[in-house]
Structure 1
Amino acid sequence: MEYSEVNVAFEILLEEVEVATNALQESGAELLRCGDFVGARDAIAEVEKLTDFRQRIKDLQVDWATLSSVKDRSKTSATRRPVDRRLSKGLRTPEDAFRMPILEALIELGGSAAIAEVLDKVEDKMKGKLNDHDLQPLASDPRSIRWRNTAQWCRNTLVKEGLMRSDSRTGVWEISDRGMRELNRR
């Protein structure tokens, strides 16, 4: 299997986990609205498991990217399997592509801002990079646009890495001191 095909597979897997997570979050919110607190708690536990699973996938993706010998062998392999066109058709922009635009947007907005403001700024920065698939609604929630969902997952990763604050007010994203230093180094 070619190196790039594995990356496509990782992105597809990450997207499917995100779809499942979003569906569980919606289900949990509905259970909460209906007063089924036990069911909502169970849904939250499942979301936490999926979030941990997603992080393990991201870690594996990073491990795969560091295997330079695999990259080199895949370029010279004489027995390549034909690329399945369905894998790349409509594939979303990877989460990592949103890292710098999110951090830059936060700096431009004074270090913190409402999610919608940050995402509007990110959209301006990502014009020309977002593909047709990114601009489509999610199957699990037709009100949510795919790239915005991916950017929100990226925010989650940035929080885990300490580049964004985890304790900012609800509905507000905030860059951390470490995030500012990271941005200044680039």
Structure 2
Amino acid sequence: QAQSAEASRQGRYEDVQKAAKEVAQLASILEHLEGLQGQWDEVADVLAEVGLGQFTTYPRGRTGRRQRTPRGQRTSEAAFRIPILQALEEMGGRGRVQQVQERVEELMRGVLNEVDYELVPSGGDIRWRNTARWCRLDMVRAGLLASDSPRGVWEITEKGRQYLREHGG
């Protein structure tokens, strides 16, 4: 800016225009980088929510293979869709993750099984909560939940309300 002001005082308007163009380009690059940072923050939030926070930085090497739960033993991701939407609707359309999950657990009492209450091998998270967060990610991608909610808040969209009316009451 100081160079631009000096060039302006000296009547070097081409230099002023060049400097203004460079500033505009830098502002555009900065805006793009801020957008990328925002996208990365969203990805990092999702990874942390599903117990994969260690992947928000570069991996340091293989730690060994994890055992997967045999198919059919845990409650499917799809089974969480309606309870999540119901919980959010009951909460006025949005809620903090912890409160949403507490209500989902109540709604799914009798559905969640022993395997769902085990810890996932990747960390200290309970399996059903991990599955619910993966379901939430899929619902965001499907437009049923808002993608721009504040961190730690789940929010139903109009499309999510429509889905709930059509599929779950």
TM-score computed with the length of structure 1 as normaliser? 0.55
Superposition misfits of 4+ residues, deviation over 3 angstroms: none
* Cα deviation, residue 27, structure 1: 4.7
Of residues 130, 134, 138, the one that matches 1:153 is: 134
Q: CA RMSD in A?
A: 2.1
Name 1:52's counterpart in structure 2.
none
Q: What amino acid is the match of 1:132?
A: E
2:79 paired residue number: 97
**1:87 Cα offset (Å):** 3.9
1:122 maps to 2:104: yes
- Identity percentage of aligned residues: 43
Measured after TM superposition, the shift of residue 137 of structure 1 is: 1.1
Counterpart residue number, 2:158: 177
> Are 2:68 and 1:111 equivalent residues in the alignment?
no
Q: Which has the higher helix share?
A: 1
1:22 Cα deviation (Å)? Answer: 3.9
Deviation at 1:140, TM superposition (A): 1.3
Query: What amino acid is the match of 1:117?
Result: Q
Amino acid at match of 2:138: T
Larger-gyration structure (1/2): 2
| Structure 1 unmatched runs, 5+ | 1-17, 29-39, 44-85
Unaligned runs of 5+ in 2: 1-46, 60-68
User: Could you report, residue by residue, the CA deviation over 1:115-172 in whole angstroms, capped at 9, with x for unpaired residues?
Assistant: 0000000000111111111001112112x11000000000000000000000001000
TM-score by length of 2: 0.60
CA distance in 1, matches of 2:166, 2:74: 28
